[in-house]
Chains A and B, each alone.
Chain A
Amino acid sequence: MTSETYTLSVNGNNYQVVDGHPSESLLWVLRERLELSGSKNACEEGECGSCTVLVDGKILCSCLILAETAVGREITTIEGLGSDAEISDVQKAFVDAGAVQCGFCTPGLIVTIEHLLKEDPNPDELTVREAISGNLCRCTGYGRILEAVRIASKNLTLQSKEEENQ
Chain B
Amino acid sequence: MGVIIAKSVNEACAVLAENPATTVLAGGTDLMVQANRGAHSLESVLDLSRIPELKKWTLQDGEILLGAGVSYTDLAETQLAELIPALAQAARTVGSPQIRNAGTIGGNLATASPAGDTIPVLVAMDAILQLKSSTDNREVPITEFVTGVKTNVLKSGEIIESIRIPVFEGPQEFLKVGTRNAMVISVVSLALVTDYLEKKLRVGVGSVSPVPFRATAAEEFISQEFDWEDKGHLSEKIINKFSELVANSIKPIDDHRGTADYRKHAVGVLAKRALERVCVSERS
Chain A positions near chain B (C-beta within 8 angstroms): 2, 4, 22-23, 25, 44-47, 49, 52, 58-61, 63-66, 68-69, 71-72, 112, 130-131, 133-135
Contact = CB atoms under 8 A, between A and B. Distances in A.
Contacts of B36: 25, 44-45, 63
Interface string B214-240: 000000000000000000000000000
B98 A66 contact: no
B43 interface: yes
Interface centre among A23, A52, A58, A65 (most CB of B within 10 A): A23
A23 B99 contact: no
B100 to A, nearest CB: 9
A134 B32 contact: no
Interface residues of B, number: 32
11 contacts: A4-B3, A23-B43, A25-B36, A46-B98, A47-B183, A49-B98, A68-B45, A69-B49, A72-B5, A134-B97, A134-B182
Contact of A64 (B5, B33, B43, B181): B33
Nearest to B181: A133
A71 B5 CA distance: 9
Could you say which of B3, B37, B49, B97 has the most chain A C-beta atoms within 10 Å of its C-beta? B97
A112 B36 CA distance: 23
A64 B25 contact: no
Nearest to B34: A45
Given A2-B1, A66-B42, A46 B99 contact: yes
Contact of B43 (A2, A46, A131, A135): A2
A60 B32 CA distance: 13
Contacts of B95: 46, 134
Question: Closest 10 CB pairs between A and B?
Answer: A134-B96, A133-B182, A23-B42, A68-B3, A64-B32, A69-B47, A45-B33, A44-B36, A64-B28, A58-B101
A131 B182 CA distance: 11
Contact of B99 (A2, A66, A112, A134): A134
A68 B43 CA distance: 12
B280 interface: no
B183 A61 contact: no
B170 to A, nearest CB: 28
Interface string B19-37: 0000001011100110111
B98 A52 contact: yes
A68 B50 CA distance: 13
B10 interface: no
Given A4-B3, A45-B36, 19 more contacts: A2-B2, A4-B2, A22-B2, A22-B45, A25-B32, A44-B33, A46-B32, A46-B99, A58-B101, A59-B98, A61-B98, A61-B99, A66-B3, A66-B28, A133-B96, A133-B182, A133-B183, A134-B98, A134-B183
